[in-house]
Amino acid sequence: MTTKGPDDTSLVQMFETMALIAATDDALRSAISAGSASLAYYSPRGQEAVAAGFSAALEPGDYLVTTYRGLHDQIAKGVPLRPLLAEMLGRAAGTGKGKGGPMHVSWPDVGLMLTTGVVGSGLPIAAGLAWAASRQGEGAGEAAGDGDVRVTVASFGDGATNIGAFHEAANLAAVWRLPVIFLCQNNGYGEHTAFADHLRVEHVAQRAAAYGMPGVTVDGNDPVAVYAAVVEAAARARAGGGPTLVEAVTYRLFGHVFGDRMTYVDATELEEAWKREPVARFRSSLVERGLLSDADAAAIEENCATMAVATLAEVLELPEPDADEVLRDVVAPMAPMAPREPVGPSQPQQEMSVRSAITLALDEALSADPRVVLLGEDISDNGVFGVTKGLAAKHGADRVRDTPISEQAIVGAAVGAALGGLRPVAEIMFMDFLGLCLDQLANHAAKLRYMSGGLTTVPMVLRTAVGGGLQVGAQHSQMLEAWLAHVPGLKVVVPSTPSDARGLLASCIADEDPCVFIEQVLLLSRKGAVDDTPVPLGVADVKRPGSDVTIVTYGRQVHDAIAVAESLAEKGIEVEVLDLRSLVPLDEAAVLESVSRTRRAVVLHEAVVTGGFGGELAAGISEALFGRLEAPVLRVGALAAPLPYARGLERLALPGPDRLLEALEWVMAYNG
């Protein structure tokens, strides 16, 4: 394929971009050295040609995901200098209101969807953005150019190619033939480690063959070479040919972070690298070709230096965010709950299992909103637990999408798809596997709204199952909801009945924030009435009224609580069972209203007691109702051991009715 090179005007624009990057870098380093600016700064000096080349090869609406050493990429993609520098310095006028900082810049107006401070983690998100672009097709064409889908560029360093996320994202993108360009800016060092000491291949691009995609290595100090490679890769991607790995070999001329003395770099090697410094090299090339005179080139560099210094000086005088910003943009404002519109004829109070209710909710969402997509392992058939049975046949395998066994890729792709305008519902087979993808969930899905100052949102759902009580052992049985509830920005729900499962999942899919929907496998076959009543997030439900003691619980333990409450009613003790349904947002008012009446509380959950969500509930009750309680708040949960396989030991470890009954009798008998 022959690629037409950039015209003369584009060549000069590339030089202007490179000059502005270098000038901004100079201004920042000078200000930090002088003590007038304080930030963790990762200089991209030496990599200006890569950014100028790839950005010139893209259409304005194409997406970019970059990494914390991303100043050059951000400038080249068109982020205005003033809000960019303001964000880097934590000012209210920054791209994210000063809440993201230099490692977390987003500017969707020019397609910069994410800058991540976690090495390699942006690649699965880029795959998700590319998936969204490919699904939207010509709907994104006007912004992308010439009626084609948007292309996503994932920019990263050579060190990131050793991260699992790189391999999972590359494989997923290749299998799904996504319009993504993996652009490795190989600057010779992964932090303080030389390239040859952390890879056993000569070029990163050689790794592309393992995924069945093209890999090309170009001179990263030559913007025209980078431009040509990216133009070809973008054309291939837009035509449905899938991803390309482009390796631009360059050199990092300053240390990993400002203040790094580069003692790990050979002085002669660094001296030679400065002789190939890309801005001066490209300037000479343009002068030799007659596109610029020496005076023209000097004027461009002088103008860029003046702009960078003046903008930085202005930004340094800007105020930091007001105090009221600290809790703003964590989640979307709560919207009134709209009545559900049934897809088919309404059948009030129909009986079905929790499993069927979840399937129904997914079916309704897919039917009602073309943006809703499902992804996960084996979900196009029945799913491991039969929850997605029949959905691919009805809605298409392109919307109910099987993935490789790649938890980081699944959740990262869901994050990217949500950023790109879809409403993905991802499935992680067992909750225990959250450890494999917690970075994508906790560092990205949960934080992107906040770090971008509300510019980017992640309306996604993560469904995951818990196998406690199934005798499947310690690695398939953990309730880890406390992990999730501890992360601001995530919403966490645990249904106990078919009607709640349907209603809560519908609310999660409609929500503007990332929600985790927890399905306890032993509950899936339980049947009950299902109606069309909406179930909003953050609203608890009294499953059994009572006046003597409150059980605060959720999930399948609700049914144990009701059974024990009924047995105590025969002894004249009236137990109220409060089903939280949502852990985040938590219906604190309902909890306190119930316990203030009964003046006694027992918190019940399947998770281990130590560090469990019950501790948060007990503390909140005790703080709010101190002096009004008749007894201490007790917690009942699993014993502090990995869940054993042997059936008898598993029963002993899990919180059964006997332990709950013992706790209730204790609080009722307590007499100070």
Q: Could you tell me how many residues make up the chain?
A: 672
Is 563 within 8 Å of 659 (Cβ atoms)? Answer: no
Lookup: tokens for 226: 């980078």
Does the active-site annotation cover 138? no
Cis peptide before 585 (omega within 30 of 0): yes
Tokens of 341: 């519109």
Bridge partners (DSSP) listed for residue 424: 373
Q: For 633, phi and psi rounded to 5 degrees? A: -75, 125
Cβ-proximal residues to 400 (8 Å cutoff; 6+ apart), any chain: 366, 373, 374, 379, 380, 388, 391, 392
Catalytic option among 104, 203, 444, 476: 476
Contacts of 127 (CB under 8 A, 6+ apart): 152, 154, 169, 172, 173, 176, 178, 180, 409, 412, 413, 416
Q: What is the dihedral of CA 532, 538, 539, 543, to 10 degrees?
A: 90
Phi, psi torsion values for 613, nearest 5 degrees: -65, -25
Euclidean distance between CA atoms 523 and 181, whole angstroms:
43
372-376 and 423-430 as β-strands: parallel, antiparallel, unpaired?
Answer: parallel
Q: Residue 326, exposed/middle/buried by CB under 10 A (0-12, 13-18, 19+)?
A: exposed
Determine the angle formed by the axes of helices 613-624 and 588-598, rounding to 10 degrees: 60
Strands 112-116 and 193-194: unpaired
Distance CA 260, CA 262 (A): 6
d(CA 620, CA 617): 5
| Six token digits for residue 492 | 């966490």
What is the C-alpha to C-alpha distance for residues 471 and 649, in angstroms, rounded to an integer? 10
DSSP 92: T
H helices present in 317-373, as ranges: 354-368
In the chain the first and final C-alpha atoms are separated, in Å, by 84
The long-range contacts involving 447-450, CB below 8 angstroms and separated by at least 24 positions, are: 447/104, 447/489, 448/106, 448/114, 448/415, 448/419, 449/329, 449/330, 449/331, 449/332, 449/489, 449/513, 450/99, 450/100, 450/329, 450/330, 450/488, 450/489
Instruction: Report how far residue 645's alpha carbon sits from residue 467's, in angstroms, rounded to the nearest whole number.
Output: 11
Out of 48, 407, 519, 650, which one is annotated catalytic? 407
Cα–Cα dist 225/248, whole Å: 9
476 in catalytic set: yes
The two structure tokens encoding residue 308: 């960078």
CB 637 within 8 A of CB 542: no
For residues 551 and 549, what is the distance between their CA atoms, to the nearest angstrom? 7
Task: Return d(Cα 288, Cα 151) in angstroms, integer.
Answer: 34
Which helix (H) or strand (E) segment holds residue 310: the answer is helix 294-316
Torsion, Cα 230 232 234 239, to 10 degrees, reads: -170
Helix (H, G, I), strand (E, B) or coil at 452: coil
Tokens describing residue 251: 């050199």
Q: Give the residue numbers annotated as catalytic, written as ranges.
A: 407, 476
